[in-house]
Copies of this chain bind each other. A is one copy, B any other.
Amino acid sequence: MNRCEILYWTIGIIHSEHTIEENTPIQPVYAKGCKGHVDLLPEFVDGLRDLSDFSHIYLIYHFHKSRQVKLIVKPFLQDIDRGIFSTRAPFRPNPIGLSVVELLGIEGNILHLNGVDVLDGTPLLDIKPYTTKFDLHDVKKNGWQDGLDQKTAEKRGKRGYKS
C-alpha cells in the first residue's frame, strides 16, 4: 500500500470572532453563543437547497494554521501524552477539522451559525447535515475523556472565550 495524493478545493470560508489561535475554543460545546458564518462560493449555492430545514450541520474544514504533524500530542483538555487519533488536535497527518454547529439561517450564499469553534478565515471543504437518524450513537467508552473533571475541561476547552 502506497500513500496517494488527494486534491480538494476550498468551497468557502468560515468566519468567526476568533482571530487568535490560542484563544479559539477547541469544540462547539465550549463555544456556545459564539456566532459566525460561512461565506460559500456563489457557484455552490444550488447545493444549499433544503439545508435550512436542519438545525445542526457538520462543517469539514482545513486547519490552515497547522504547520506540523505530531503523532503524540497533549490534548487541549489534559497534560498527558496521547495518540493524535484519540484526540481532535489539529496536528494530524491530514489537518482536517470537524465541527457540529447550529444553523441559524441561510441568506443567499451566507450560512449563519451558532457555536462556532473555528478560527476566522478557515477554508471550508464540505457541509453535511447532522441528523438524529445518522449521527446519534450509543457511546460505551470515551477513553481518556471519561476521566476528565468537568469544570477543568470547561475552562481549558474555552481557552479564554466567554459566551
User: Does A71 contact B46, Cβ atoms closer than 8 Å?
Assistant: yes
Interface size on A, residues (CB 8 A): 72
Q: Are B53 and A85 in contact (CB under 8 A)?
A: no
Please state if A5 and B9 are interface contacts (CB–CB under 8 Å). yes
Contact A48 B133 (CB under 8 A): no
Whether B50 contacts A9 by the Cβ 8 Å rule is no
Are the CB atoms of A50 and B143 closer together than 8 Å?
Answer: yes
Which residue of the partner chain B has the closest CB to A84?
Answer: B47
Whether the pair B55, A139 counts as a contact (CB closer than 8 A) is: yes
In the bound complex, residues from chain B placing their C-beta under 8 Å from that of A5 are 7-9
Q: Which residues of A contact B (CB under 8 A)?
A: 1, 3-13, 27-29, 39, 41, 44, 46-51, 53-58, 60, 62, 71-72, 81-88, 92-94, 96, 98, 100, 123, 125-137, 139-146, 148, 153
Known: A6-B125, A51-B143. 9 other contacts (CB 8 A): A5-B7, A6-B62, A9-B93, A29-B133, A85-B129, A94-B125, A129-B143, A131-B142, A136-B139
